Amino acid sequence: MAPPKKSKSKKTKKVTKKLKKSKSTSAAPKDPNSSDSDWWPSFWAKNSSTPGATIPSDEEEGFKYFFRVSKKTFDYICSLVREDLVSRPPSGLINIEGRLLSVEKQVAIALRRLASGESQVSVGVAFGVGQSTVSQVTWRFIEALEERAKHHLKWPDSNRMEEIKSKFEESFGLLNCCGAIDATHIIMTLPAVQTSDDWCDQENNYSMLVQGIVDHEMRFIDIVTGWPGGMNVSRLLKFSGFFKLCEAGQRLNGNVRISSEEVELREYIVGGVGYPLLSWLITPYETNGLSASMPTFNSLHEATRSLAVKAFLQLKGGWRILSKVMWRPDKRKLPSIILVCCLLHNIIIDSGDQLHPDVALSDHHDSGYGEQCCKQVDPMGRTTRENLEKHLQHNQEKDLVK
């Protein structure tokens, strides 16, 4: 079953046209008497002492608690979507005091909905607006940010990739490594008429899969979503555009490096045992019958791969709408929600913001799911892995001599 083609659907093209058209529309002037521009003081006063919540007493930290970003990054996000939210005026989106919602308050509502995963009713109560307003504002924000923040999630150019490879080698010793891959399930309930075996995964949940590749800073550099949770991660990989580009030699095709054994090593990413061992995707050795140097390789491989695991922990912990069971989501819209959460995750990194340590999920991002295992082995992948292992062993022996 093919996933909803978010980026190429007629519906999305219409949305994009609207957004592009909005560039030429002049923004309405701010009127403090008609626009709810002083939303933060009233929100803070109302919500800073919520019973049962551990909310920081410092206002700046409190802001990050509610919206995951600093005020500076919040202002940047507002600047990205302002034209779209202003030129498509929220007629009817009025708060309980009879004033139009400012762009800032609309962004705050959307961020709170995505960050908390709370119901639209609960978010509405926190801001003094109705459930339908939360729904409209959040979707408008998602449409706008998906279009305006594309530059925060893209495959690195050659110069940037050289920097990424250098950082991976410096931190983990893996020569010419370009990233780490993992996948997670977004669990949902579906109406009886929409349920099917495709969407029912191995844990009998209805879910949608997300595949992500991250760099050394846990920034997403490639995302695939929209596919049903009934697939395994190796099949999801093979359906992805990333797989097709790699197989065609159009991705992970940068400079080779020469190992300590005078062997060429191509670019590659690392993944867990659920993925096939390919010339450009290196998986760990099986634990049975390991040679003396293989545990060292596996240890460094796991440390590198864990960056993708941690990235998903932060993604689903920071934007908890993804970690809670979604109640009958529109499967055509869900990929956009996932993508925007990934964009926000990257914006936090790009802006130098630090997530509160308690934000990330404490358990595995796919808690309750057993680890999948793929037995597919490409001979070229086996050779690359062996050459990497020898390179690490040689460097380790050289360090012992020093």
How far apart are the C-alpha atoms of 236 and 365, rounded to whole Å? 18
> Sign of the C-alpha dihedral, residues 112, 116, 120, 124?
negative
Residues whose CB is less than 8 angstroms from the CB of residue 168 and which lie 6 or more positions away in sequence, other chains included:
174, 177, 178, 216, 304
Interior angle at CA 123, CA 39 and CA 338, nearest 5 = 110
How far apart are the C-alpha atoms of 292 and 53, rounded to whole Å? 50
> Sign of the C-alpha dihedral, residues 215, 217, 221, 227?
positive
pLDDT score for 4: 47
For 346, what's the count of Cα atoms within 13 Å in the CB-facing half-sphere? 24
Contact 254, 157 (CB under 8 A): no
Q: How far apart are the first and last CA of the chain?
A: 57
Architecture of the domain made up of 56-151:
Orthogonal Bundle (1.10)
> What is the β-pairing status of strands 100-101 and 35-36?
parallel
> Sign of the C-alpha dihedral, residues 385, 386, 387, 389?
positive
Contact 72, 104 (CB under 8 A): no
Three-state DSSP class for residue 235? helix
Three-state DSSP class for residue 283? coil
> What is the β-pairing status of strands 206-214 and 326-327?
unpaired
DSSP 290-330: --TTHHHHHHHHHHHHHHHHHHHHHHHHHSGGGTSPEES--
User: How many residues does the structure list for the chain?
Assistant: 402
pLDDT score for 194: 62
Domain ranges of the chain: 56-151, 153-400
Ranges of residues in the chain whose predicted pLDDT is under 50: 1-2, 4-34
Q: Which two tokens stand for residue 254?
A: 């940068």
How far apart are the C-alpha atoms of 386 and 392, rounded to whole Å? 10
Q: How far is CA 366 from CA 290, 293, 363, in A?
A: 28, 31, 8
pTM: 0.87
pLDDT score for 319: 96
Mean residue pLDDT across the chain? 86
How far apart are the C-alpha atoms of 279 and 22, rounded to whole Å? 46
Q: Give percent of the chain above pLDDT 70.
A: 85
Determine the distance from the C-alpha atom of residue 383 to the mean position of all C-alpha atoms in its chain, rounded to a whole number: 32
Contact 382, 95 (CB under 8 A): no
User: pLDDT of 317-374, one tens digit each?
Assistant: 999 999 988 877 888 899 999 999 999 999 999 999 987 777 877 777 887 787 889 9
Other C-beta atoms within 10 Å of 158: how many? 9
Helices within 39-157 (DSSP H only): 39-47, 59-67, 71-87, 103-116, 120-127, 131-148
> What is the β-pairing status of strands 268-270 and 281-282?
parallel
pLDDT score for 95: 58
How far apart are the C-alpha atoms of 86 and 81, rounded to whole Å? 9
